[in-house]
Amino acid sequence: MLTRFTAVLVFLTLVSYVNAQDAEDANNTLSIDIPEVAIMDIESEGGQSISLIVEAPSEAGNMIDLTAAVDSSLWLNYSSVRSQAVESSRAIYAKVIGGSVPSGLKLRVKPQPYTGTGDGDLGLPSNGTNGRVLVATDRKIIRNIKTCYTGDGTGNGHRLIYSLEFRNNKYDKLDFDDSNTVTVLYTITDT
């Protein structure tokens, strides 16, 4: 009887040991939260302040020279994550928020097509390579930004080419005392 009792005890011990083991499969749950993103900045190898140089003519009878009044040292970088269910996209706008462009001149910014190490549905220059004349109201310069990133730093994103141009028939409005500092604001927003 003791042998039978011992055999039953050994059997019950083995059965409880087998039931206490881990299963061949296990599972858990995890949550993945992707944030909405809409950020941008201006990058430069130097500072973000630039100078557009207007040169005096070297010959009497010629107008001032705007050839050197160009700068292409700034790059527009952005990151965007948006809902795939929404048909809208984002755009980047620019406007003058401080100072004023000297009378007789126009300030133009020409964003170039994207280049760099980014990925996704990147934006396009709004007015081709003609750019936009900047004024005190928003001017769309990049359109159709979806979920993407440009890469960070110079050489990534859209090169910004600033230039000065004469206003038609406004040469008489030029005034050397009208030299000024202009502040340009860039904004990324849903469209």
pLDDT tens readout for residues 14-55? 555 555 567 899 999 999 999 999 999 999 988 889 999 999
As a whole number of angstroms, the distance between CA 118 and CA 24 comes to 43
Residue 1 has pLDDT above 90, yes or no: no
Per the prediction, the chain carries an average pLDDT of 90
Residue 167 has pLDDT above 80, yes or no: yes
Please tell me the pTM assigned to this model: 0.83
Residue 71 lies in a domain: yes
Residue 19 lies in a domain: no
Residue 26 lies in a domain: no
State mean pLDDT over 57-61: 95
Give the position of tokens 């040991």.
Answer: 17
Number of compact structural domains in the chain:
1
Q: Quick: pLDDT tens for 62-95.
A: 999 999 999 999 999 999 999 888 878 999 999 9
Residue 10 lies in a domain: no
Residue 1 lies in a domain: no
Question: Residue 125's domain spans which residues?
Answer: 37-190
